[in-house]
Amino acid sequence: MDKWDKRFVQMADTVATWSSCIKGDRHVGAVIVKDKRILTTGYNGASSGILSCVERGECLRVKLNIPSGTRHELCYAVHAEQNAIIQAAKLGISVDGATLYCTHQPCVICAKMIINAGIKRVVYKYGYPDEFSMHLFSQAGVTVEQFNDDEQ
């Protein structure tokens, strides 16, 4: 990893602060980069026109006692990685061959989208309880690296 990786991980950390998730430990940010240029960003939050958990004053997943890493469909939020890919599609920006920097290891749903979008490298900061996503990345030949600030 190099100074550019550190910069883009820091950018993902900044983007995560925009999250509308009520659970502070789950503020997630993503930045898609190609040739040292930021293509798009994303953070976890409710879809356009849908009230977020912050606006509702409660987290549906907490209310239903859903364990982390399971039942992703039972959440008002769209994941940061998904939002970054959706933003690229909406704006007509190709992410083929890009790197995705994110605060947390992508879940299996995000992994599938990342693979199909043609993103070739993922750099994440914090782990996430989803071993199957890592298996899919490996099968698809996507390079996945955990960022370690101590190495910088």
pLDDT at 68 over 90: no
- How many whole angstroms from its chain centre is CA 72? 13
pLDDT tens-digit profile of 91-104?
999 999 999 999 99
Q: Is 81 a catalytic residue?
A: yes
- Which of these ranges, 21-30, 77-86, 97-106, has the smallest mean pLDDT? 21-30
Kindly report the pTM of this predicted structure. Answer: 0.92
Burial classification of residue 76, based on how many CB atoms lie within 10 Å of its CB (0-12 exposed, 13-18 middle, 19 or more buried): buried
Catalytic residue among 58, 73, 81, 151: 81
Q: How far is it, in rounded angstroms, from Cα 91 to Cα 149?
A: 32
